[in-house]
Structure 1
Amino acid sequence: MAQMKLEIGGRSFMVTCQDGEESHLTRLAAMVDGKARESGDPAGLNESRMLLFTSLLLADELHSAQAALAEKPAAADTVSPGPMGEQAIASLEKLADRAEQLANSLE
């Protein structure tokens, strides 16, 4: 298991991941960091609130992407988003769940 330090919303988090997953986790952390910065002034929010708002922004983005896929014409139903798209959706769902769990544990 690899241990990494992630910077999200101006705060540091130590996390572990499977060996070889470091670059993937770094990309996911960059996405979360971007959303954390969208949620407002990180200095004005405690950790749990920042993670809550961040997870809500990510969940909203995921919901919008799923709704957009559902609105495509029936002919597009035969085209799948591909393994990378499915992996991104699954990663966002897991990340939103994990951020919500973290926010709940910090409250």
Structure 2
Amino acid sequence: MSEVVLTVGGRKYTLRCEDGQEDHIRRLAAVVDAKLGDGASQLPAMEAKNLLFAALFLADELEETRKAGAADDRGKIADWLEALAVRLEKTAEALEQAHPNA
């Protein structure tokens, strides 16, 4: 196992991954960081790390789907991503309400 240090949402995270997967994880984290902006810096550390894991898994699934050629049906993928974005926004809002001073 290897370790990779990621910076997402202004926070550093050290994650373990399979040997040789470090660059792949860094690319996924860059995608997540670009979408996230500064929002994660306002979350408590454990919640932010859990959201990071979820976002990395989703980014990986999206990348694998694209590699498999399923990106031909872009309308369905766009709809799925839009629905996912709405769910993530609602989750972020709920977290903000649960921890207004975090």
- Normalising to structure 1: TM-score of the pair? 0.43
- Normalising to structure 2: TM-score of the pair? 0.44
Which protein is bigger by CA-based radius of gyration? 1
